[in-house]
Chains A and B, each alone.
Chain A
Amino acid sequence: MKPLAAIVAVSEMKPGRYPNYNGMEMYRQVISQFLREWPQLRPSDIGGLLSAPAGMASADGTDVFAHEKISEELGIEPTFSETINAGGGTYALMLIRASLAIERGLCDSVLCLGAGRFPNVGSGMAEMMSKLISHPEFEYPYGTYIPPIFALNATRHMHEFGTTREQLAQVAVSQREWSLLHPDALMAPQGRLTIDKVLSSRPITYPFNLLDCSVPSEGGSAVLVVSPKIAQRYAKKPCFLYGFGEKHTHSSISQAHDLTTLGSRETSAQAYRMAGVGPKDMDFAQLYDSFSINPIIYAEDLGLCAKGQGGAFFAGGRTAPGGEFPVNTYGGLMSFGHVGDASGQTMIVEAARQIMGIAGEARQLKKADLGVVHCYGGMMSEHATLVLGSAS
């Protein structure tokens, strides 16, 4: 396998609420923590910089010049830099773009940054979000917001394949188990979940109850990507990128060609092909999970099980700690926390920690040589799959 890029340093804020920080201040917190955890880094180690819009979807406004402001504060003059956005897919796309820039010699390293806010409902923010995430003219008048949009995928999956609410609930139960092993997980203090607890939590939008939904919070993370040629200079055991795939299928959920097979089928096939591996070679998966249905669909599309068998794939704790195939080993967005638009990088941070062998005693997998990460942005519209692994 040919490495395309190497992740050599990662850091993530504890998810929570940070009312005193605006979008740019969140970035400063992310970077301060990153520099504390990797004290050997100097400005000359950062040749490129990618950021997401600062303060996206929060009341203090969206800053699309985040990259230049951050670069100035870091004291760097990058030869590859921009602010990009594809929602939760942003950070997988950053890794893809970083690897392409490094391969073409634009720079030797790229710092990928995310800092996510979650808007507080009220004062018109819910209406603004609705117009942002659904068609402002043809969907918004029908009361669209994020949970019912994803519920449309879930209801259709239940209809086509007989997926049950208990199977959806099991996703939440297994991910809570993983979160109990993560010191920063937002929901860990709430303790274990059971299928009954999920099914008896408050109904939000059929078939989702409260515990089928991820936990809105705020946070952010940093990932330093370097050329495979210099990776050893930074890390004894880097996490290499071996393959990727990207596809943007729609914007409005009502215009998606399919609700149960998504762009993820093509992106994962492309990523495996590029890496020269298959789903059976994977030791773990990190699957973006705003709601309990998402990992079920992605497990199918990524070939971890057959189409329609996603519900059974999660049954009986198969993906929980000690199970046959670990999924979302940090608790996922549902139990670690959904750190706004930065949550797509949380999964990359966790995959890198597992592969670098720095996930900590409690949740470090015995075998984490190859893993697959799938992120999406928008209403399951923008897809990106990454195949990551240790030195081959």
Chain B
Amino acid sequence: MSNPAVNPKPIPEINAHSKPYWDGAQRGELMIQRCRGTGKPFMYARCWSPFDFSPDPIWEKASGLGTVFSYTVVYQPPYAAFKADCPFVMAIIQLDEGPQMMSNVLNCDPESVRIGMKVKVCFETRSGGFKIPQFEPA
């Protein structure tokens, strides 16, 4: 991984409704939302539940554990900021709670990643000290 002080990779533009997710990441916590009506968890941050439209979903800390649902090893970078990382893994992680999210899989040989691999959350520091949730082998 590149030096965090000069990590050129993008940081998200944060919206009001998703602020608790990114605030959690800065504390080292992966946050997830839960529907007040059905009790079911979901990703990503929303203003309402996609299951029953109930408002104001509950924010809670996720276990941070998950499984690689699918992955690819990226050899050609999308743009210059990811050049130093190549080859890197782009993966869909299925959280133990059920919902899925996009991530990279860090701290391992990219070509060793497989579907079904157990992973746990970690945090990558980008410019300005901003942390984004990532996954690594559990």
Contacts and interface: CB of A to CB of B under 8 A. Distances in A.
Interface of A: 121, 126-127, 130, 134-145, 147-149, 151-156, 159, 202-207, 252-255, 259
Nearest to B85: A143
30 contacts: A126-B78, A127-B10, A135-B44, A135-B102, A136-B12, A137-B15, A137-B45, A138-B12, A138-B45, A138-B101, A141-B9, A141-B10, A141-B126, A143-B9, A143-B74, A143-B77, A143-B81, A143-B82, A144-B78, A144-B90, A145-B79, A148-B72, A204-B76, A205-B74, A205-B90, A252-B44, A254-B43, A254-B100, A254-B101, A259-B70
B102 A145 contact: no
A143 B101 CA distance: 14
A143 B115 contact: no
Nearest to A257: B100
Tell me if B's interface is mostly helix, strand, loop or mixed.
mixed
Nearest to B79: A126
Contacts of B77: 143
Interface string B13-28: 1110010000000000
A153 B70 CA distance: 8
Contact of A152 (B71, B81, B126): B71
B103 A142 contact: yes
Nearest to A126: B79
Given A143-B104, A205-B90, 18 more contacts: A126-B78, A137-B13, A137-B45, A138-B44, A138-B102, A140-B12, A142-B90, A143-B9, A143-B78, A143-B90, A144-B90, A155-B70, A155-B115, A159-B115, A206-B72, A254-B102, A255-B43, A255-B44
B136 to A, nearest CB: 14
Given A156-B115, A253-B92, A137 B12 contact: yes
A159 B117 CA distance: 13
Given A143-B85, A159-B115, A255-B100, A136 B13 contact: yes
Contacts of A253: 92, 102
Contacts of A136: 12-13
Interface string B38-59: 0000011100000000000000
Most buried by B among A136, A143, A155, A255: A143
A204 B75 contact: yes
Interface residues of B, number: 37
A144 B102 contact: yes
A110 B83 CA distance: 47
Contacts of A134: 102
Contacts of A141: 9-12, 126, 132
A174 B75 CA distance: 26
Contacts of B82: 143
B73 interface: yes
Contacts of B13: 136-137
Nearest to B75: A203
Contacts of A149: 90
A145 B132 contact: no
